[in-house]
Amino acid sequence: MKHTRQNHTTVTEFVLMGFSNAPKLQSFLFATFLVIYMIILMGNSLIILITKTNRALHTPMYFFLRNLSFLEMGYTSVTLPRMLVNLWTQSRTISFSACATQMYFFLMFGSSECFLLAAMAYDRYVAICNPLQYSIIMDNKTCLQMAASSWIIGIPVLIGQTYQIFSLPFCDSNKLNHFFCDIPPVLELACGDTAMNELSVYAVALLFVTAPFLLILVSYIKIISTILNLPSATGRHKAFSTCSSHLIVVTLFFGSGIITYLCPKSSHSADVDKFLSLFYTIVIPVFNPMIYSLRNKEVTVALKKFLLRF
């Protein structure tokens, strides 16, 4: 808890400290993150292009994968370009309104990814546990509704939460010990009692992180139970292979997100927060196209055909 001071100066901008504690590595970090950003854009764009142009991949699973790739490009673009500018210019300031906007879009894309991963788990559940009804249950209308819901379900709640956080008084230090405007470092700078805001963060995290995760968990319990009862070893292997890519992405994304937003702040430091944020904002979007292409024969074949055209 921070006590409100009577004579405080209102904060109009923040300073993103980022990686300022490693001044000799600024050029190296800029080059590294620029290459990573280009890989993310090209890799996910390629997934979108392949799944859109190849008629064999016009199925619900690849429709959701296309949405996931598009979402991850937006998710990364909220944080990485700003970080690259800061590393290049060494000007680390960000205005109050720009910080609020960055936080909102980061949370919006993050919550959308949680629900989209849940929709993908449900798609795999229907495909494996109820294959005869799959085309009826997962028709075009249902897929569009699930994808649209994933994108818009969190908008009003997250607008409200962002407004609530940035309505707090900020005084004294305006130095954010992070590379973008995330909730924990912003709340650290707030004056006064932030207990209600922290409770609100936990409530929203339970709604937008834990709830989709539990839906995924239930889906995979039923999926694994069905697969283990399949009489053919080949059938079991094929069923597992269709789920393994999604399961890897879910583990990586939700694991880092739950540690960041649901674990007590005393259990990990600001440096650990930065590392975890790098993991789910940069590392996972880099590996997602690789995970889905290298572990999926249909995507691999479609990619080879696409490249052979050129």
Instruction: Specify the range with the lowest mean pLDDT, choosing from 39-48, 187-196, 249-258.
Output: 249-258
Q: Which domains does the chain have, with CATH numbers?
A: 13-308 (1.20.1070.10)
User: What pLDDT, on a 0 to 100 scale, did the predictor assign at position 77?
Assistant: 92
Length of the chain (residues): 310
pLDDT tens readout for residues 237-281: 777 777 777 788 888 888 777 776 666 555 556 667 777 778 778
- pLDDT of res. 115: 93
pLDDT tens digits for 75-125?
Answer: 899 999 998 988 888 888 889 899 999 999 999 998 998 999 999 999 999
Mind listing the pLDDT tens digit for each residue in 149-172?
A: 999 988 999 999 999 999 888 877
